[in-house]
Structure 1
Amino acid sequence: MKKRRGFMQIAILHLLKEGSMHGYQIMKELESRSGGLYSASAGTVYPALQELTEKEMIGLDPDSDKKTYEIKEKGNEKLEEFATRREGEFWEEWKARWVWQNSDEATMLKSALDLWEVEIHKAVKQSRKSTEKTTKLIEFVKEITERLQKENR
């Protein structure tokens, strides 16, 4: 699964494990499980459904007159694999993710990261002009990476 849609796909698999649903029901249930903090869009859900279908993790419910999805064996296996790597209840983590993303801290962090991205691109462009600047930038990036690694232990 693509990293970007991976958490969304796992959420969809969790929902379909509970029962068959069509796309709109999935979008509404994802919003509900976030406490209203996340509003799923068709542009997010339907590509995830398509990818899950292509990977044979879900399929269409043959007994439904609507385009209703159901989980398949490969989808259940993916959920089991996911559960072995995680601790805690999935829907609690789902809601916590959206609470965080709607917080002031997340907004400030995103702004800081956006500024960092602009400045690092400028620094890379400047480093092309001299070996010395390239060496200094490499050292700086390594230092920051090591500091982050120490903080996250």
Structure 2
Amino acid sequence: MKKRRGFVQMAILHLLEEASMHGYQIMKELEIRSGGHYSASAGTVYPALQELLEKEMIELEPSSDKKTYCIQEKGKIRLQEFAKNKEGAFWSNWEDRWSWQNSEEAIRLKEIIDLWEAELRKAIKKSRSTPENSPKLIAFMKEITERLQTENY
């Protein structure tokens, strides 16, 4: 599963474990379960559904007039694997994730990351034209990486 869609796919599997649903129902339920902090789009949900279909974790209900999805055995096994590796209730984590992403801290962090990425690109571009500066940039990046790995943020 792709990292970005992986969390949405897990949410879809959790929903389909509870009941079969069509795409619009899934989008609405994801929004409800996030406490209104996440508005699922067709551009996220339908590719996630397609990938789950291709991996045979879900299937279309043959007796339904609409495209109604239901979980398959592979999907149930994936949920069991996920439950073994994660702590806490999935839906509580789901709501917390989306709530945090809309928080002032997350917004400020995103702005700083964007600024940092722009400055890093400039530094890399400069080091291409001035190769003798590359070791300094590499050392800086290594130091920052090590600090992120060892600090308790």
Sort the TM-score into its range (normalised by shorter chain).
over 0.9
Counterparts in 2 of 1:1-153, with a 5 A limit? 1-152=1-152
Hey, which bits of structure 1, 4+ residues long, moved more than 3 A?
none
Residue deviations 1:24-81, cap 9 Å, x none?
0000000000111111011110000001001111000122121100000111111111
Identity of aligned residues (%): 70
User: Counterpart of 1:105 in 2: which secondary structure?
Assistant: helix
Shift of 1:13: 0.3
> In the TM superposition, what is the alpha-carbon distance from 1:84 to its structure 2 partner?
1.3
In the alignment, the residues of structure 2 paired with residue 84 and residue 145 of structure 1 have an alpha-carbon distance, to the nearest angstrom, of 29
Residue identity in the other structure for 1:94: W
* Number of positions where the alignment pairs a residue of Structure 1 with one of Structure 2: 153
Q: Which runs of 5+ in 1 are unaligned?
A: none
Aligned counterparts of 1:44 and 1:119: Cα–Cα separation in 2: 30
Tell me the TM-score normalised to structure 2 length.
0.97
CA-based RMSD of the aligned residues comes to 1.0
Taking the aligned partners of 1:129 and 1:62, their CA distance within structure 2 comes to 61
Report deviation, 1:129: 2.1
How far is the alpha carbon of 1:152 from its aligned partner? 4.2
Read off the aligned partner of 1:116 and give its amino acid letter: W
- Letter aligned with residue 86 of structure 1: K
For 2:129, what is the secondary structure of its paired residue? coil
Distance 2:93 2:152 in 1: 19
- Shift, 1:132, TM fit: 2.5
| Structure 2 CA distance for aligned equivalents of residues 83 and 135 of structure 1 | 44
Q: How many Å separate the matches in 1 of 2:30 and 2:95? A: 9
